[in-house]
Amino acid sequence: MSQPFRTEKGGRINRTEQLTFTFDGEELQGHQGDTLASALLANGVHLVGRSFKYHRPRGIVTSGSEEPNALVGIYRHGDQTPNLRATQVELYQGLEAISQNRFPSLGFDVGAVNDLLSPLFPAGFYYKTFMWPKAFWDRVYEPVIRAAAGLGKPPKTPDQDTYGNIYAHCDVLIAGSGPAGLAAALAASETGAKVILCDEQSEFGGSLLSEVSASIDGKDPSEWIAETINKLEQMDNVTLLPRTTAFGYFAHNYLALAERVTEHLPNPDPKLPRERLWQVRAKEVVIASGAIERPMIFPENDRPGIMLAEAGRTYLNRYGVKVGHKVLVAAACDTAWQTAFDLADHGVEVAGIVDLRETPPENLMAIAKARGIRVEAGCMVTGTLGRKRVKAALLGRMMTSGNVASGGQISCDALLMSGGWTPTVSLYSQSRGKVVWDSDKGAYIPGASVQRERSAGASKGLYGLQEVLEDGYAAGEEAAKAAIGKSAKVSYATATGGEAGTGGTLGALPHDRNASRVKAFVDYQNDVTAKDVKLAVREGMQSIEHIKRYTTTGMATDQGRLSNMNALQIASDSLDRPVTDVGLTTFRLPYTPTTFGLFAGVARGDYFDPVRKTPSHDWVVENGGVFEDVGQWKRTWYFPKNGEDMHAAVARECKTVRESVGLFDASTLGKIEVVGPDAAEFLERLYTNPWKKLAPGRCRYGLLLNDAGFITDDGVIGRLAEDRFHVTTTTGGAPSVFATMEDYLQTEWPELDVWITSTTEQYAVAALQGPKARDVLAPFMEGVDLSADALPHMSVKEATFCGVPCRLFRISFTGELGFEINVSRRHGKMMWETLAKEIEKFGGTAYGTESMHVLRAEKGYIIVGQDTDGTVTPQDAGMSWAIGKKKADFVGKRGLDRPDLVADNRKQFVGLLTKDPKVKLEEGAQITTAENPAIGTPADGHVTSSYFSPALDRSIALAIVKNGHALEGKTLYVPMPDGSIPVEVTGPVFYDKEGARLNV
């Protein structure tokens, strides 16, 4: 028979729409409007998973997002998403679900042997064992533990879905759409305030969706919900977000919501994101997150078929599902009785109501009696039978002695329990509010507001429908008033029925069983029992934080929403201290587990980080260039021709530059225009070098330190006019140099009349380097005399290139005659293509960063960040010449005088030549004085740059070596795994030491 546990009528499911789905391969039927859980229950399936540690058979316990047991994998696109709650998964045609943490099958799981061995596995057992033999931990114990642990299987293939993001601002954000949230939304929206109402469920209404015995304004709750939603939908100022969980409450009323956009659809349009992250800045927040029911802690309280009473009621009234044919209700409070009554009204046999209380309320007794329901007062469940589904409950009765006496046994196929209610204070706590203990309610409720929020309804411990509604309206009004200063009159709906219940219990129930033989579960998923909590306390764990971490209670995927209060009470009893003294663990985000993809959002592939390209990019791609990532930039690394490897390409490129001409894209270098009457004074204070006497039209190499005295950046600076400099920086250093300049300008020297503007992207820069550079350039230039006299090395002129304005620098980072042409970015492509074509005539080549590195290393020019590492001073780098000797101060000057910076034995910048010219050192290799240093010998330095030099036809290297400047001519060693490499210390300049090639 299909869906044997479906009621005849009622519920919010669409009975005319039949859906087929599978669970562990078995085909089953459900209806539109079902969750996977309700559909499974309709088919009589309670056993849905295995527990974490003992692999005990487990069934559905709740009907909401707090579900600890019914975690399943859902297949889509050939892969599965693990650990989804069956209670939240909306049913669609063709849904494929699998159970988890069992092998080979749910019904027969070998892991269940753990249950038999459980006496060996109390809380924290692993801290006490697996220590011998030592080597077994990595090889045996840990792999076994790891394989046994974990719930579902992780996805195996990259996620095909996309995730969206939206930033939103609103006046009032309402989290939760039960009667409190709906009333708040009505009241707040009426003022014109911008309202966002979200609820994690597929439909708005919260607990009202399963309420059939109360009425609001004389209407069925479902009718009132429909009218309310209809009203809210009409309003422009209201955003309704179903399937949206408020999962994080951050500082400054910043909240994060996860909207599930397509998960519930059988064939979603791939253009839609699977989920969307809402990052909302709300002026005011109303937390209307309701309350959840608490399980009771009795032995074997974890069998499939044992559920929360309210969940039983929800399955019945909302989903049209009977959780059993013969249902026992065990409670310590009133609300569970209503479940029994509703079940009875649907013709379900109620095996009895077992109430812990000696004298349950008269009116309930009367109703039960009228329906012929057996009531056992002053009675509790002391155990259950049935492995894969509960078969019967053992009853106990509290004696005046304080002991429990057996009260017989009742058979049933479902057992509904209720230990009372726990307000959902997660979001309030995340907002950094401190909950307070309400002893009347036996619950923690929100205390004072720390941020601009208020709780309403059951989330603050109000339970009567009428008072919840009133509270909701008031909260909405108050929030709107606080946000926009306006209030509006809304008429409050009035409810009849739905009165607040009384009663409740916390902690483990007493029983007459052998305590050491039975398990009463506190945290279902993590298999934490009452015994475990007590053991932790016995072992000295006195803080609830220690108890949590030692037993892992509250650390499962429901984050203790079902278990925390009971664990706390058990700890409190064991410690003999009031609950309030034991403390409470911290509520953290996310409210429910939240998809990584949601956080990552659009940041993937090319959009993981901006890809910054220079104007030569397309040309480089067409010409087979290879790129490297430098920060966010793509720079050309080298240009292999005819199957060359990097080594061959670089050798050819270098050789060509030295013999003829090379073209290099220098656009990524940072460029800053420093303008104003005090421009020179500013640079004087910032850079080590003197600037005031630099004539317009000339350039100088600038060295920048931090105030500690270490080199942070360098670059050529050209003076364009008295009051205007063109500063260049390293590619990676551009933003930080700019920020440093602004910092000194704005906060140290605001009196200076000078401003800086980033022009990095205003210009495209082509470097032409090599003896033929002038010949290549000349045909395109106008307005400038390129001769050595008119435009000597280290000068700058404004001119035109192919008719477009340019800044022409005569500078060189290769040691050859060189020009850097800056044209506006738009003309960069034209410039590059023009020059690339022209150099062909001279047998020239385009070259990349690798050749640039080799060429400059042959000349001993440093690269900040490669040859320096933040610990190198100008003196260390052999650049004392760059320090303006007469300057009273510059950034870093004072730092340079500190004891260690003037001490002997500093590491200094030198060249190294291997004795064997064919041997190229490895960059980063260490340098020692001893040929075969013992392990632990401190190094004297390291190789910072190392290349094969085509110009010298041998290897060269640059290094930082202790007292290096004094060691020229000496032999040092580079110890490598297969022996030491002897090297001779030299000056850092290997090629054209006199610089003759520059000045042509």
Partner 1 sequence: MSDLMASDLITPDAGEPPLLSINEVSILKAAPLTRLSLRLREASLKAAGSAFGVDLPVLPLSSATADKRAALWMGPDEWTLFAPENTSQSVVSDIEGKLGAEPHSLVDVSERSEAIIVSGQRAAWLLNTGIFVDFSIDTFPVGTVSRTIFHKSPVMVWRIGDEAFVVEAWVSFMDYVSGLLVQSASELSAA
Partner 2 sequence: MLLVYCPYCKVERAETEFSCRGEAHIARPSDPSQTSDEDWVHYLYMRSNTKGIYAERWRHIHGCGRFFNAVRDTVSDNFLKFYKAGEPMPDLEALAKEAGK
Partner 3 sequence: MKRYSFLELAKNAFSAHQNWGRQWRNPEPKSEYDVVIVGAGGHGLATAYYLAKEHGVRNIAVVEKGWLGGGNTGRNTTIVRSNYLWEESAGLYNHAIDLWQGLSQELNYNVMYSARGVMMLAHTVHDVQVSQRHIHANRLAGVQNEWLSPEAAKEYCPPLNISKNIRYPVMGAALQRVGGTARHDAVAWGYARGADALGVDILQNCAVTGIRRDQNGAVEGVETAKGFIKAKKVGVVAAGHTSVVMEMAGVRLPLESYPLQALVSEPVKPAFPCVVMSNTIHAYISQSDKGELVIGAGTDQFISYSQTGGIHISNHTIDAICELFPHFRRMRMLRNWGGIVDVTPDRSPILSKTPVPGLYVNCGWGTGGFKATPGSGHVFAHTIAKDEPHPINAAFTIDRFRTGRLIDEAAAAAVAH
Positions in the binding site for partner 2 (CB under 8 A): 167, 250-252, 254, 279, 281, 432, 450, 707-708, 739, 742-743, 746-748, 750, 888-889, 893-895, 898-899
Give the number of residues in contact with partner 1, rule: CB under 8 A.
44
Which listed residue (75, 492, 599, 701) binds partner 3 by CB under 8 A?
599
| Cis before 133 (ω within 30) | yes
- What are the structure tokens assigned to 91, written together? 């049913």
- What are the structure tokens assigned to 544, written together? 């609830």
Binding residues for ligand FMN restricted to 784-843, rule: CB under 6 A: none
The DSSP bridge pattern shows strands 954-962 and 941-949 to be: antiparallel
Residue 321 φ then ψ, to 5°? -130, 135
Binding residues for partner 3 restricted to 667-726, rule: CB under 8 A: 708-710
Provide the mask over 471-500, with x wherever binding to ligand NAD is found by CB under 6 A and - wherever it is not.
---------------------------x-x
* 902/922 Cα distance (integer angstroms): 30
Secondary structure string (H, E, C) spanning 363-378? HHHHHHHHCCCCEEEC
The DSSP bridge pattern shows strands 375-377 and 349-355 to be: parallel
Strand order in the sheet with 907-914: 926-927, 941-949, 954-962, 907-914, 979-986, 971-976
Based on the shown chain and the rule CB under 6 A, indicate whether residue 463 belongs to the binding site for ligand NAD: yes
Residue 198 binding partner per list ligand FMN, partner 3, ligand NAD, none, with a CB distance cut-off of 5 to 8 Å that depends on partner kind: ligand NAD
Query: With CB under 8 A as the contact rule, which of the stretches 24-32, 767-775, 837-845, 924-932 interacts with partner 3?
Result: 924-932
Q: For residue 162, count other CB atoms closer than 10 A to its CB.
A: 18
* 836/797 Cα distance (integer angstroms): 22
CB of 725 to partner 1, least distance (A): 11
Residue 889 binding partner per list partner 1, partner 2, ligand FMN, none, with a CB distance cut-off of 5 to 8 Å that depends on partner kind: partner 2
Based on the shown chain and the rule CB under 8 A, indicate whether residue 127 belongs to the binding site for partner 3: yes
- The one-character DSSP state at 995 is -
- State which residue, 32 or 279, has the beta carbon closest to partner 1: 279
CB of 693 to partner 2, least distance (A): 22
Which listed residue (612, 698, 887, 970) binds partner 1 by CB under 8 A?
612
Render 541-555 in DSSP notation, one character per residue: --SHHHHHHHH-TT-
Yes or no: say if 378 and 398 are a contact pair by the CB < 8 Å rule: yes
Q: For residue 261, count other CB atoms closer than 10 A to its CB.
A: 19
CB of 127 to partner 3, least distance (A): 5
CB of 150 to partner 3, least distance (A): 3
Yes or no: say if 806 and 623 are a contact pair by the CB < 8 Å rule: no
Based on the shown chain and the rule CB under 6 A, indicate whether residue 459 belongs to the binding site for ligand NAD: yes
* β-bridge partners, 784: none
Which listed residue (29, 93, 279, 487) binds partner 1 by CB under 8 A?
279
- State which residue, 577 or 692, has the beta carbon closest to partner 1: 692
Yes or no: say if 165 and 275 are a contact pair by the CB < 8 Å rule: no
Binding residues for ligand NAD restricted to 258-297, rule: CB under 6 A: 288-291
- State which residue, 194 or 774, has the beta carbon closest to partner 2: 194
CB of 767 to partner 1, least distance (A): 18
Which listed residue (147, 515, 603, 976) binds partner 1 by CB under 8 A?
603
Based on the shown chain and the rule CB under 6 A, indicate whether residue 432 belongs to the binding site for ligand FMN: no
- State which residue, 111 or 503, has the beta carbon closest to ligand NAD: 503
Helix axes 221-234, 179-190, angle to 10 degrees: 30
Provide the mask over 541-580, with x wherever binding to ligand FMN is found by CB under 6 A and - wherever it is not.
--------------x---x---------------------
* 593/581 Cα distance (integer angstroms): 30
Burial class (CB in 10 A: 0-12, 13-18, 19+), 511: buried
Based on the shown chain and the rule CB under 8 A, indicate whether residue 736 belongs to the binding site for partner 1: no
Binding residues for partner 1 restricted to 409-468, rule: CB under 8 A: none
The closest residue (CB) to ligand NAD is 178
Based on the shown chain and the rule CB under 6 A, indicate whether residue 146 belongs to the binding site for ligand FMN: no
Query: With CB under 8 A as the contact rule, which of the stretches 461-469, 702-710, 753-761, 791-799 interacts with partner 1?
Result: 753-761
* 587/432 Cα distance (integer angstroms): 9
Yes or no: say if 649 and 825 are a contact pair by the CB < 8 Å rule: no
Tell me the CB-side half-sphere exposure of residue 102, using CA atoms within 13 A.
23
Which listed residue (457, 461, 625, 964) binds ligand NAD by CB under 6 A?
457
Q: Is 924 left (phi over 0), alpha (psi -120 to 50) or beta?
A: left
CB of 145 to ligand FMN, least distance (A): 14
- State which residue, 213 or 875, has the beta carbon closest to partner 2: 875
| Torsion, CA 929, CA 934, CA 940, CA 941, rounded to 10 | 110
CB of 498 to ligand NAD, least distance (A): 5
* 458/420 Cα distance (integer angstroms): 12
Based on the shown chain and the rule CB under 6 A, indicate whether residue 190 belongs to the binding site for ligand NAD: no
Which listed residue (59, 111, 206, 386) binds ligand NAD by CB under 6 A?
206
- State which residue, 510 or 593, has the beta carbon closest to partner 3: 593
Residue 724 φ then ψ, to 5°? -145, 125
Query: With CB under 8 A as the contact rule, which of the stretches 328-336, 541-549, 676-684, 733-741 interacts with partner 3?
Result: 541-549
Binding residues for ligand FMN restricted to 582-621, rule: CB under 6 A: 585-586, 588
Binding residues for partner 1 restricted to 143-172, rule: CB under 8 A: 164-169
Binding residues for partner 3 restricted to 928-967, rule: CB under 8 A: 928, 933, 935-939, 942
Binding residues for ligand NAD restricted to 233-262, rule: CB under 6 A: 245-246
* 268/266 Cα distance (integer angstroms): 6
- The residue among 676, 671, 910, 915 whose CA lies nearest residue 796 is 671
CB of 68 to ligand NAD, least distance (A): 16
Q: In this structure, is the dihedral angle defined by the CA atoms of residues 600, 602, 606 and 611, taken in order, positive or negative?
A: negative
Which listed residue (338, 595, 667, 795) binds partner 3 by CB under 8 A?
595
- The number of angstroms, rounded, from the C-alpha of 246 to the middle of its chain's C-alpha atoms is 16
Which listed residue (137, 599, 755, 842) binds partner 1 by CB under 8 A?
755
- State which residue, 540 or 610, has the beta carbon closest to partner 1: 610
Burial class (CB in 10 A: 0-12, 13-18, 19+), 454: buried
Q: For residue 594, count other CB atoms closer than 10 A to its CB.
A: 18
CB of 361 to ligand NAD, least distance (A): 12
Binding residues for partner 1 restricted to 675-714, rule: CB under 8 A: 675-678
Yes or no: say if 514 and 520 are a contact pair by the CB < 8 Å rule: no
Burial class (CB in 10 A: 0-12, 13-18, 19+), 313: buried
- The number of angstroms, rounded, from the C-alpha of 256 to the middle of its chain's C-alpha atoms is 12
Render 389-430 in DSSP notation, one character per residue: S--EEEEEEE-TTS-EEEEEEEE-SEEEEE--EEE--HHHHH
Placement of tokens 């009554």 in the chain: 341
Based on the shown chain and the rule CB under 6 A, indicate whether residue 308 belongs to the binding site for ligand NAD: no
Based on the shown chain and the rule CB under 6 A, indicate whether residue 28 belongs to the binding site for ligand NAD: no
Which listed residue (168, 235, 240, 630) binds partner 3 by CB under 8 A?
630
Residues that bind partner 1 (CB under 8 A): 164-169, 194, 269, 271-273, 279, 281, 602-603, 606-607, 609-614, 632-633, 673, 675-678, 753-763, 824-826
Residues that bind ligand NAD (CB under 6 A): 175-181, 198-201, 206-208, 245-246, 288-291, 335, 421, 424, 427, 457-459, 463-465, 468, 498, 500-501, 591
Residues that bind ligand FMN (CB under 6 A): 555, 559, 585-586, 588
